[in-house]
Amino acid sequence: VCSMGNSSSRLYSALAKTLSSSAVSQHQDCLEQPDSTRLDPIDPKDLLEECQIVLQKRPPRFQRDFVDLKQNTASNHRPIRVMQWNILAQALGEGKDNFVRCPIEALKWEERKCLILEEILAYKPDILCLQEVDHYFDTFEPLLSRLGYQCTFFPKPWSPCLDVEQNNGPDGCALFFLKDRFELINSANIRLTAMKLKTNQVAIAQTLKCNETGRLFCIAVTHLKARTGWERFRSAQGCDLLQNLKSITQGAKIPLIICGDFNAEPTEEVYREFSNSSLNLNSAYKLLSPDGQSEPPYTTWKIRPSGECRHTLDYIWYSQHALKVNSALGLLTEEQIGPNRLPSFNYPSDHLSLVCDFSFNQDPDRLL
């Protein structure tokens, strides 16, 4: 563990404790939420500084800029910043994913977790949706709860992480929201079905009340089945998720934001299901294209033994009748990503984070 300088004290002890992975032996109890109320709050600036000390031998963070998408419409409330990110499970990155051009040193958890935290702290999301989280109990829940987030985790029933030696427990989806901005009204952990069969993929859906406006909305996070050949399976999972969300949002009466790694290009059936849903959803990152109709060219870019994999798989869907996108974080360029692609010493995951600022439309009853 790197020395953290003289200012470390209680904050360094918090960061250092997450290196011990004491939760490994407890991962069978992964649905039990730990009690972090006894821990002192921490200043995000202090945590960011600690992360940067750990990362001082690595290249600096990539610069990404927000693109303003406002259409001359004033909002009477602070925007709600939502971050979507498949952070790459540590066990899979080191054990199963075979990133042939990524040095193994770049995947060391002691430093990679600081890169992940640095990215989160840089964008300060009000709501954070993560996939492939396998260090929830020893890293993300203890630290993010002390930053003011309410935290929820739902692991995969048969996580592939458990097949890796010295794993840290199952990976799954995690949802975090700032308690001073939102009140939790309802929470549902959903195990997705396909062809009436329960699957290994999950979702979390939470109905929140915005404290500033009093408005309700639903935020959901999911991670659909991976790999070519499973298109119909993903389609069935998507249908099941949409049915659940229709019930939770009372048929779109409650505005909805869905974050996820869908493992599906825009050409797939599951993408069309979300585009054509009665929930009246739009994909936020389409708005970055010149015509507002095209998804980004990639949200993940890696090199495996089979070759280069460059795909658009990650999305933030939203109720376009009730919400508008004020801005979206631009993607990394090919030049920034570099010839060895992702992950790397610069970037901790094979997927790019997506970040959007949302505001409520002025007329909450307008459906079209």
Rounded to whole angstroms, how far apart are CA atoms 181 and 239? 31
pLDDT in tens, 323-341: 999 999 999 999 999 999 9
**Considering only CA atoms, which of 305, 308, 313 is closest in space to residue 340?**
308
User: In this structure, is the dihedral angle defined by the CA atoms of residues 359, 363, 365 and 368, taken in order, positive or negative?
Assistant: negative
Residue pair 210/164 in contact (Cβ under 8 Å)? The answer is no
Task: State both tokens at 73.
Answer: 């419409």
pLDDT in tens, 162-217: 999 989 999 999 999 999 999 999 999 999 999 899 999 999 999 999 999 999 99
pLDDT recorded at residue 35: 57
Angle, CA 307 vertex, CA 303 and CA 313 arms, to 5°: 65
pTM of the model: 0.90
**Considering only CA atoms, which of 270, 262, 259, 150 is closest in space to residue 211?**
150
Does the pLDDT at position 91 exceed 60? yes
Residue pair 255/322 in contact (Cβ under 8 Å)? The answer is yes
- What's the mean pLDDT when you consider all of the chain? 90
pLDDT recorded at residue 95: 81
**CATH for 79-363, among 3.10.450.50, 3.60.10.10, 1.10.10.10, 3.90.1420.10?**
3.60.10.10
In a 10 Å sphere around its CB, with 0-12 CB exposed, 13-18 middle and 19+ buried, how is residue 231 labelled?
A: middle
Residue pair 158/175 in contact (Cβ under 8 Å)? The answer is no
Peptide bond into 343 cis (omega under 30): yes
Least confident of 60-64, 82-86, 152-156, 344-348: 60-64
pLDDT recorded at residue 176: 98
What is the β-pairing status of strands 127-133 and 80-86?
A: parallel
Would you kindly state where each structural domain of the chain is located, as residue ranges?
A: 79-363
Angle, CA 195 vertex, CA 190 and CA 198 arms, to 5°: 35
